[in-house]
Amino acid sequence: MAEKPTAQGSPAPRSQSWTQRRLITWPLLAALAAAGVFFVAADNTLTSNSYAVCSPSRKIYTVDSSRPQVECILVRDSLVADTGDLADIQARWRAHHSSAVWGPLWLSDFLPWKPSLKVSTIHADNAVVPGLADPHAHIFHYGFKTNLDIGGCRSIDEILQRLKAYVLSHPDVLNDPSRWIEGMGWDQTQWSDTRYPHADDFDAEPLLRGRRISLQRVDGHASWVSNRVLQLMGNLPSEVSGGAVIRDEKGKPTGILIDNAMLLIPAPPASKAQVLEYINRTITDALAVGLTSIHDAEATPRMIAGFKEYAENAKPPLRLYVMGHVESDSYWGDQIPRLINHGVGGRLTIRSIKLVADGALGSFGAAMLEPYSDNPSTSGILRFVPEELSKLVKQFWEDGWQVNIHCIGDRANNAVLNIFEDILANSSATTLMDRRPRVEHAQIMMPSDLERIGRLGVIPSVQPTHATSDMLYAEERLGPARIKGAYAYQTLLQSAKGILPLGSDFPVEGINPILGFYAAVSRLTPDGTSPHGPGGWYPSERLTRAQALKGMTLDAAYASFTEDTLGSLAPGKFADYVVLDRDIMTVPQAEILGTKVLATVVDGEVVYGSL
């Protein structure tokens, strides 16, 4: 009879039968050795690199269609080696161990000792899911924003008070008016007066008067600068290609710069030390919320240099899939290094680039086919001339890059799909699989383009919290007809044949992926409300919990060419998983946002929390 493990996974006390077996085994081994049959000695490393994680309530969600929910996963080295019931896993593990170490399986029955599989059993209320990925985020900007976060401020005065506190708490800034004050997070749609702020507003606070202040809007597509910065900029152009300088009725700049006009701000670039600091800060916070993979959606050469140094000097605790970006109308692919599984542990990959077709809805920069319903004076901003964008996309495509393009408005989405359709008309299906083009956001689309994106095989990469953040003003801005093609996640999922990567766009939204999961399945704000009531905003576009989990795991892996090694807890894939304090697949919807991460595991190793 085989030994039974204790609850902690240790061997049970040896019985009399073990002593009897030893009397038989030693002469047998001696006789086989005399006959020239040799054996490898027992080695603790053969058992120490294997363990099982089990849920007595079978709350391990694998996102593996063959075994979607199991009792246990077996981890060997950095991989998932097996899934299923504990008894079956233990039997298969012992068989594998015995045959690998001692030769014929029948001989293991006579061994004087047997290996014991370490088993970690989670609480019945806990759950395990594959490692969560964020397929659209901004690592540098998250770290940058934490330096001076003005998000959540409900008025200009509240922002001024936060800036004052910042200056007073930083003596280097307080004593040197030439130091730049930079932050991120203002959102005029959250104020009682929803008009844009003005450079003069900073002068209302004496401590801020005359200082160099530049604050990015929450979406990163507009900046609000002080009068001192406007003075440094000198005479501003009357027109900016792909951007706008907002002016008052007398033609004087107000301090608001939209999209490409933000490039005129003469703020100093981040130092190498700051880049590394921001990367570290972001990854530390990401691990605490269960992220095991992040797709950085706009890394400049300076940022990429930071990622390379970070990955080459030590093993990154999570996986980084980086999209290169340069602000240029000319081909710049030669400025971005191609790296696959680079650095210590092979966790840095750069094989894609990011282009930006338009701005954002909140700053009236999303390129629309018709004027905004609440601001008929503008139809948004297309940041490229379509012909120039087409030429650039084709150059990146021919050079072997995955091309990912930011598109918010229906005009931008339509123009980009036209470009991809033209390219794909002259490409084979295998080329499409090699390139896997992505539309980042796919936020507002004509019904015909919602169908076309799936027919072309272009990947829509969306962010569910954008819907719940924008829903309080989006319909007023777009009107009752256009809103039906906006934030249409269930429609996109069906069109895209079941592939819909779900990200956050942090720091535009929160870094916690549970926020996106909740938004996707509820279409509600965190307090459980929506313009359409507790059933959610346009509830037909909600995702099921299974669809949402797949979007944050396997679909994200597909969007980064790693579906064969990541995204599900299937044998042979990397052992990236997260232990949650509750079962997000079954708890009442209102309880989802209370979820805490107990452990984040990458390559089978705990990088946050504990098992």
H/E stretch holding 404: strand 402-407
Q: Which pLDDT belongs to residue 432?
A: 85
447-456 and 410-424 are packed helices; what angle lies between their axes, rounded to 10 degrees?
30
124, 154, 181 - which closes a domain: 124
Confidence bin at 114 (pLDDT 50/70/90):
low
Give residue 364's region: left, alpha or beta (phi > 0; psi -120 to 50): left
Q: How far apart are CA 84 and CA 540, in angstroms?
A: 35
* pLDDT, averaged across the chain: 91
**pLDDT tens profile 94-105:** 887 766 554 554
How far CA 13 is from CA of 3, 120, 586, in Å, comes to 9, 20, 40
Q: What are φ and ψ of residue 90, in 5° steps? A: -60, -40
Confidence bin at 18 (pLDDT 50/70/90):
very low
CATH number of the structural domain spanning residue 323: 3.20.20.140
Looking at the structure, do residues 212 and 322 belong to the same domain, yes or no? no
Confidence bin at 1 (pLDDT 50/70/90):
very low
Domain-embedded: residue 305: yes
Closest by CA to 265, choosing from 299, 236, 300, is 236
Looking at the structure, do residues 105 and 210 belong to the same domain, yes or no? no
Domain-embedded: residue 611: no
Residue 586, pLDDT above cutoff 90: yes
Looking at the structure, do residues 438 and 305 belong to the same domain, yes or no? yes
Domain-embedded: residue 572: no
Confidence bin at 526 (pLDDT 50/70/90):
very high
Residue 5, pLDDT above cutoff 90: no
Residue 19, pLDDT above cutoff 50: no
Domain-embedded: residue 165: yes
Q: Would strands 60-61 and 348-356 be described as parallel, antiparallel, or unpaired? A: unpaired
214 three-state secondary structure: strand
Q: Which pLDDT belongs to residue 30?
A: 52
**Average pLDDT, integer, range 389-397:** 97
Beta sheet of 60-61, edge-to-edge order: 69-70, 60-61, 127-130, 577-580, 597-602, 605-609
Q: Which domain holds residue 101?
A: 16-124
Domain-embedded: residue 590: no
Looking at the structure, do residues 75 and 157 belong to the same domain, yes or no? no
**Percentage of the chain exceeding pLDDT 70:** 89
Sequence-ordered alpha helix ranges (H) in 16-63: 16-34, 45-48
**Of the listed ranges 41-50, 517-526, 596-605, the one predicted with least confidence:** 41-50
Domain-embedded: residue 595: no
Higher pLDDT, 396 or 115: 396
Higher pLDDT, 30 or 472: 472
Higher pLDDT, 6 or 289: 289
**Average pLDDT, integer, range 312-318:** 96
List % helix, strand, coil for the chain (3-state, nearest 5). 35, 20, 40
**Average pLDDT, integer, range 506-517:** 98
91, 124, 157 - which closes a domain: 124
Looking at the structure, do residues 242 and 289 belong to the same domain, yes or no? no
End-to-end CA distance of the chain: 31
Residue 479, pLDDT above cutoff 80: yes
Looking at the structure, do residues 239 and 357 belong to the same domain, yes or no? no
Looking at the structure, do residues 118 and 157 belong to the same domain, yes or no? no
User: Tokens representing 195?
Assistant: 């008009």
349 three-state secondary structure: strand
Domain count, the chain: 3
Q: How far apart are CA 140 and CA 147, in angstroms?
A: 11
Domain-embedded: residue 3: no
Q: Which pLDDT belongs to residue 14?
A: 40
CATH number of the structural domain spanning residue 240: 3.10.310.70
pTM of the prediction?
0.90
Q: Which pLDDT belongs to residue 94?
A: 86
Residue 47, pLDDT above cutoff 60: no
Q: Which pLDDT belongs to residue 96?
A: 79
**pLDDT tens profile 206-247:** 999 999 999 999 999 999 999 999 999 999 999 999 999 999
Domain-embedded: residue 530: yes
Confidence bin at 427 (pLDDT 50/70/90):
confident
**pLDDT tens profile 166-206:** 999 999 999 999 999 999 999 999 999 999 999 999 999 99
Cβ proximity of 548 and 520 under 8 Å: yes
Q: Which pLDDT belongs to residue 374?
A: 96
Looking at the structure, do residues 489 and 382 belong to the same domain, yes or no? yes
Looking at the structure, do residues 339 and 379 belong to the same domain, yes or no? yes
Is the Cα dihedral 387, 388, 389, 393 positive or negative? positive
Residue 25, pLDDT above cutoff 90: no
96, 124, 152 - which closes a domain: 124
Closest by CA to 262, choosing from 351, 356, 173, is 356
Cis omega (within 30 of 0) for bond into 507: yes
369 three-state secondary structure: coil
Per-residue DSSP letters for 447-475? HHHHHHHHHHTPEEEB-HHHHHHHTTTHH
Looking at the structure, do residues 344 and 464 belong to the same domain, yes or no? yes
Cβ proximity of 503 and 135 under 8 Å: yes
Looking at the structure, do residues 49 and 148 belong to the same domain, yes or no? no
DSSP state for residue 602 in the 8-state scheme: E
Cβ proximity of 153 and 186 under 8 Å: yes
Looking at the structure, do residues 302 and 256 belong to the same domain, yes or no? no
Q: How far apart are CA 580 and CA 318, in angstroms?
A: 18
Q: Which pLDDT belongs to residue 39?
A: 42
